Amino acid sequence: MDLPTVWFVAIAVLWTGYFVLEGFDFGVGMLLPVLGRGREAEADRRVVINAIGPVWDGNEVWLITAIGAMFAAFPAWYAATLSGFYLPVLLIIVALIGRGVAFEYRGKVAPRSDSEAEIKAAARWRARWDAAIVFGSAAPAFVWGLLFANIVRGVELGPDGVVRSGLLDLLNPYALVGGLATLTLFVLHGAVFLALKTDGPVRRRARTAARTTAPVAAAALFAFLMWTQADHGSVATAVLAAGAVAALLSGTALLTRRREGWAFLATAVAVAATTAVLFVALFPAVLPSLLDPAFDLTVANASSAPYTLTILSVIGAVFLPLVVLYQSWSYWVFRRRVTRAHVS
């Protein structure tokens, strides 16, 4: 494999890491009002948020690293994609800002006295941040699918490397199905994660949510992957797509049998395989042009020079395993299930 191809794979790995790890963060965020309701709503919401509390920030860095790696290894890809998808990217950034602040700030205002006004003010404060968490999780979960579908499908990319697709061009049916697929897949992934990481009522409700979401997620993912296969497929994408759908279905089945660890592994495989389908379907282009294949940005014409890629390879080979190691350790430290007793 030549260096640009190695870096294409490396960037695919970073995005896969991001979607597997933030996929359940987004799911958890979207499920917050669904799982934390009833008389003990506040306690249950804190259980939900604490399940990802120590790790969500580290998970998000996979995105920052993937974007940084695109900038370093394929500057033309980075520049064309972010300027070409201007408004959707803006929406994602705003969502991530709101969500990040919400996780940190929602619990920071407690009533200072027993007065009704103070209690109400604290409740209003939390309700606002909860809305930010739901929006901040749902918007990226949908828009990332929409964007990657458009990247695979191609955009109005001219010979100057400038994307001229309008917002309406990006909202084509294929991309909308892609957005729906990632949205529902992440809800399911998050529900399975919460079933694994919590106990008590939240765990029960998470299992129900997973069972309810599974048919929708399976249908959306199946439709999206079939469509991808029809337009951009190869033998490799067919195998990966079959693997993704099979993993999603078996994950749901395993959850019904209370094998939550295995179920989570299965939905993680479904997310990873779906990401792999998209990158394999894309290769060797990184951003195909709808106008003329000669205008395609490819692994070959968008990459940095060999010297830069060599440096990045050495540093990546040393530090990425180290990152995986200490992040795994942090998951190990917080391996216990979160319950109401932990948040009171």
Partner 1 sequence: MDALDLARWQFGITTIYHFLFVPLTIGLSVVVASLQTAWHRTGRPEYLRATKFFGKLFLINFAMGVVTGIVQEFQFGMNWSSYSTFVGDVFGAPLALEALLAFFLESTFIGLWIFGWDRLPRRVHLATIWAAAIGSNLSAFFILAANAWMRHPVGFAVDPANGRAYLTDIVAVLTNPQALSTYVHVVSASFVVAGLFVVAVSAYKLLHRERTPHPDEPGMFRRTLRAGLMTTAVAGAVVALSGDHQAKLMAEYEPMKLASAEAIWDSEGAAGFSLFAIGDHEIGEVGVGRNIIDVEVPYVLSFLATGSPAGEVEGINDLQQRYSTQFGPGDYTPNIPVLYWSFRLMIGLGMAGVGVGVLGLWLTRRGALPQQRWMYRVAIVALPAALAANIFGWVLTEMGRQPWTVVGQLLTAASVSPGVSLAEVAFSLTVFTVLYGVLAVVEARLLLRYVKAGPGHVMPYPGEGEPESDRIPAFIY
Interacting positions 281-340 with partner 1 (CB under 8 A): 304-305, 307-308, 311-312, 315-316, 319-320, 323, 326-327, 330, 333-334
Rounded distance, CA 291 to CA 260, Å?
A: 47
Rounded distance, CA 280 to CA 133, Å?
A: 32
Look up residue 155 and give its DSSP letter: B
Least distance to partner 1 from the beta carbon of 83, Å?
4
CB 296 within 8 A of CB 285: yes
Least distance to partner 1 from the beta carbon of 212, Å?
27
CB 8 within 8 A of CB 286: yes
Residue number, 83 or 115, with CB nearest to partner 1 = 83
Q: Please spell the DSSP secondary structure of 260-311, one letter per residue.
A: HHHHHHHHHHHHHHHHHHHHHHHTTEEE-BSS-GGG-EEHHHH---HHHHHH
Least distance to partner 1 from the beta carbon of 97, Å?
4
Residue number, 171 or 236, with CB nearest to partner 1 = 171
φ and ψ at residue 259, rounded to 5 degrees: -95, 75
Residue number, 111 or 243, with CB nearest to partner 1 = 111
Number of residues interacting with partner 1: please give it, by CB under 8 A: 71
Interface positions, 209-238, toward partner 1 (CB under 8 A): none
Residue number, 5 or 327, with CB nearest to partner 1 = 327
Tokens of 338: 């979160």
Residue number, 182 or 304, with CB nearest to partner 1 = 304
Instruction: Find the binder of partner 1 among 89, 216, 226, 238 (CB under 8 A).
Output: 89
Interface positions, 149-178, toward partner 1 (CB under 8 A): 160-164
Least distance to partner 1 from the beta carbon of 122, Å?
12
Residue 72 in the binding site for partner 1 (CB under 8 A): yes
Least distance to partner 1 from the beta carbon of 270, Å?
25
Interface positions, 1-60, toward partner 1 (CB under 8 A): 46, 49-50, 53-58, 60
Residue number, 39 or 335, with CB nearest to partner 1 = 335
Run of H or E including 227: helix 201-232
Instruction: Find the binder of partner 1 among 21, 32, 69, 139 (CB under 8 A).
Output: 69
Instruction: Find the binder of partner 1 among 33, 100, 111, 200 (CB under 8 A).
Output: 100
Q: Collect all residues with Cβ–Cβ distance below 8 Å to 101 and sequence separation of at least 6.
A: 129, 132
Instruction: Find the binder of partner 1 among 8, 19, 24, 103 (CB under 8 A).
Output: 103
Tally helices (H) and strands (E) across the chain.
14, 2
Cα 141 to its chain centre, rounded Å, is: 6
Tell me how crowded residue 110 is: count the other CB atoms within 10 A of its CB.
10
Tokens of 292: 């003329």
Part in contact with partner 1 (CB under 8 A); list of ranges 108-116, 206-214, 223-231, 263-271: 108-116
